[in-house]
Structure 1
Amino acid sequence: MTRLLQPGKLVIATHNAGKLREIRALLEPYGMDCLSAGELGLPEPAETGTTFAENALIKAHASASASGLPALADDSGLCVAALGGAPGVYTADWAEAAPFEGGPGRDWYMAMGKVEGKLAELGPDTLRDCWFACVLALAWPDGREAVFEGRAPGTLTWPPRGTMGFGYDPVFVPSGDSRTFAELDPAEKHRISHRADAFSKLVSSALMD
């Protein structure tokens, strides 16, 4: 079997430094030289899709077309069962824009508070089951594409705990553990995360000879 993605330069279609660190660490063993869309000065396309897969493909194709290189995009989010899967594809939007270190950013504490507030409105007996979903989309300049989906189940806790994650990590407790994603060593989180699940499928389909 010939691997879909050959060793060499790969654009990671993100401007998020946290995501770039995780993806780069996962791809390094496979000979991929990862550059981010942010490092290349590529614009962020409008994410007009209604699913994780649609948005991931939009970003991957935009970076592949603009750079002339293969591109990998991640679209991920928190899905809460009691909220009908919300925030889902609108996970980042719930954080809204907020000043951060002198530039535009997102207020993730506010976003975590929104989720907690909506659960509180449903009553104290509301189940707190949730999952992180991740879709990885590969796109090539010639228009080819491939999609890989992953999931990490868990429950929500409050108040937030830990400093080693980003986004909603401080309120997400993965199944089988008592610590939040933000309390886990990054290497440990990488092994069980939704992104790691999606990457295991990408590796077996696209990075193995």
Structure 2
Amino acid sequence: MSLARTRLNLAFRQLLAEQDYLDITVGQILAQAQVSKATFYRHYQRKLDLFIEMHQGLIAAMLADFQQAEDWLSLQPPSSLIRLSLQAAKKGARRSTTAYQLGSDWPLATRMLNQAFANAIAARLQQAFSEPQWRDPVSDVASYLSVMYMDYMMQVNQMPSPQAATQKAQLLQRYTRAMLLESLQQ
């Protein structure tokens, strides 16, 4: 990642820690990152692209421990999922929902994040289950799992406690396991 892109990402994250996405302007990002408007638009088309890029990193972190079939089929969620859940819960319940925070960007953000999840999950499934006989296409399984993981990611920011986040992670893992067992040829 280029220095300018790194600065833009850092500036965006710092601004998100202080205010809602909806209230952040590209001008604020430019001022915080100390880069020009031309530099911003060389790397991104809109503020939403920074949001998606940040979440792609979170998706990768969330799925980091899904390396082998046993990880996907375990009854316990992997440590990467628990760790991310606890970090989100420590920040406390957000003032408003993600849909509200994103405003008019919400529909496009949802589609883009869902696609990012589906792509990441499909890649991990193909890596973990090297040559299984799938009853259903991996892309379909990944697409359905991505909906659950997206929903989880949106909910975890509203969790009232770390315990609630951990319980939700366990539930997500059980549903993931059930879906995969149903989708794999036995």
TM-score normalised according to structure 1 size: 0.28
Asked which structure has the greater RCO (Cα within 8 Å, sep 6+), the reply is 2
Q: Which has the higher strand share?
A: 1
Q: Which has the higher helix share?
A: 2
TM-score normalised according to structure 2 size: 0.31
